[in-house]
Amino acid sequence: MRRPMVVANWKMNTRASDAYILATTIRNAIAPIEGIEVVVCPPSIWLGEVSDILKKDGKVNVGAQNMFYEAEGAFTGEISPLMIVDIAKYVIIGHSERRAYFYENDFIVNEKVLAAIKHGLTPIICVGEKHKSSPISDAIKQLNEALTHLPKNRFKDIVVAYEPVWAINKGKVASMDHIVKAMIKIREVVGRDTPILYGGSVNTDHITDLAKRPEIDGVLVGSASIRAASFIKICQEWAATKSFKGCAA
Ligand code: PEP
């Protein structure tokens, strides 16, 4: 059975004191929630501190927002899987903002996915078509490229986040029909063991509708995840709704 998940991507937000307060508030609020896995991905500079705060209760996992594919060496400014693995369980790979602003292409994304798996991290692989008029097959192509050389028996060790780029940071989620169509196509690629998340302007208004769909295992939350009250409400709703509906087999 795949686990229902809620993942927070803080992006390049939070100064030290904000990160401390946000992580502590989330940890305390999530402690009584059962039945979902919550993951917080802070900026890499706060990974250690946030991980220490969250580990005190042990319920919320930590993820990095990015990593380089080499294990060590002369790569100024980068962080390696070996640096992350003692602190975090997850790493977001191929986020559309990395692809757009840092020129990450499908080859680099694939290298990162393979490196994450090799070093014991669970990659959260982001795929999504660029424009509202682009076909979902663009996202599927990204996914197939990201999974190149990854044996099928490792698909249980990855998470896929479907994030149509045109819906990210726009305040408006994609239509349910569109999301479900994409989920079904992604499921055909990864099989039954991989959690598939939706991301793109997820907020408290439509979280229950998203959670009711058995095709959607979880959500990747950007802007709404740096507001403690919104993020906590999203987790509570996901847990409450999924505990009745479960995830699709
Ligand atoms: C994201 O950063 O992956 C994301 C989905 O952002 P937002 O929720 O702000 O659209």
Interval 130-169: pLDDT, tens: 999 999 999 999 999 999 999 999 999 999 999 999 999 8
> Ligand 1 test: best mutation among 5, 9, 66, 179, most atoms within 8 Å of CB?
9
As a whole number of angstroms, the distance between CA 182 and CA 197 comes to 11
As a whole number of angstroms, the distance between CA 131 and CA 162 comes to 14
Ligand 1 closest atom vs CA 225: 8
| Ligand 1 site, CB within 6 A | 9, 11, 163, 168-169, 199-202, 220-224
pLDDT at 247 over 90: no
Same-domain pairing of 218 and 111: yes
Ligand 1 closest atom vs CA 199: 5
Same-domain pairing of 30 and 147: no
Ligand 1 closest atom vs CA 169: 10
| Domain membership flag for residue 53 | yes
C-alpha of residue 156 to centroid of ligand 1, in Å: 24
pTM of the model: 0.96
Same-domain pairing of 94 and 173: yes
Q: pLDDT band for position 243 (50/70/90)?
A: confident
pLDDT at 194 over 80: yes
Instruction: Check residue 170 and give its pLDDT.
Output: 83
C-alpha of residue 8 to centroid of ligand 1, in Å: 9
Same-domain pairing of 30 and 103: no
- Residue 207 domain boundaries: 81-222
Catalytic residues: 95, 163
As a whole number of angstroms, the distance between CA 103 and CA 97 comes to 9
Same-domain pairing of 33 and 110: no
Give the total number of structural domains in the chain.
Answer: 2
**pLDDT tens readout for residues 208-229:** 999 999 999 999 999 999 999 9
